[in-house]
Amino acid sequence: MDKLFIAGTDTDAGKTVVSVTLLHALQAQGRRCLALKPVAAGATWRLHEGQERWMNDDAEALQQALATTSHQQTYDQVNPYCFAEPIAPHIAAEHAEQELVLADILQHIRTLEQLPAEILVIEGAGGWLVPLNAQQSMADIAVQSGAQVILVVGLKLGCINHALLTAAAISASGAYLVGWVANQPQPQPMVEQAANIASLTQRLSAPCLGVLPYCPTWRQGHLVDYLATNQLLQSLLAANSSLSPAKKA
């Protein structure tokens, strides 16, 4: 199963927008997909499938994006760690007297890999190096699960610096950056938005897989046409073929 880890330049860059759009795009091409948001901080207590529970809006959006052509996941399969407070996940876990355990997250991924699907889309929380606990970060999920990384660049002031720093950190970790997506998170484009995108295209070695405009109805898959899905699939194939048999294992 191919695994795609959706990382962001920072919080509210648009990871969920890109993840949901990607799920719609891949399923439209007949690919069977799964979704995972391992850790979510910021939830409401509400009724879901006959049971009251804490639920995160982003994780629910991922669950809803899975069409009938894909395996229908339960909420717990999509989001195993969910915390009420919209704060850094490791702090939210401390407040809830829980611990975020990387080994448990990796085991959850291995369990999902046994389900009938081709691609697992994993959405991170916050930026690339957001802590899980005192020793590990979101980056460790991507690296140790063997996922290819898509970087979501939120188009706002500072995005060039944030994107270049994050791309450098991804490379230093040993993970493979398969591409990046520019996302406009606010109704009005940032000042000199086209020039910023051009600068990013020039400086990031990975290909740009799309520029997503602001769209209030992104949950319905209305941004699919802005993603270069075929290019992504070709990049995945090239990345997989370049891996040694030992690294694939």
Residues annotated within the binding site for ATP are 12-17, 58, 123-126, 183-184
- Name residues whose C-beta falls within 8 Å of residue 66's C-beta, 6 or more positions apart in sequence: 23, 27, 33, 34, 35, 72, 73
Quote the CA–CA distance of 193 and 78 in Å, as a whole number: 34
- DSSP conformation class of 72: -
Give the CA radius of gyration of the chain.
17
Quote the CA–CA distance of 38 and 44 in Å, as a whole number: 17
CB 80 within 8 A of CB 89: no
| Parallel, antiparallel or unpaired: strands 44-48 and 51-55 | antiparallel
Quote the CA–CA distance of 58 and 219 in Å, as a whole number: 10
Residue 212: enclosing H or E segment and its boundaries?
strand 208-212
**Binding-site entries for Mg(2+):** 16, 58, 123
156 is catalytic: no
Residues with catalytic annotation? 37
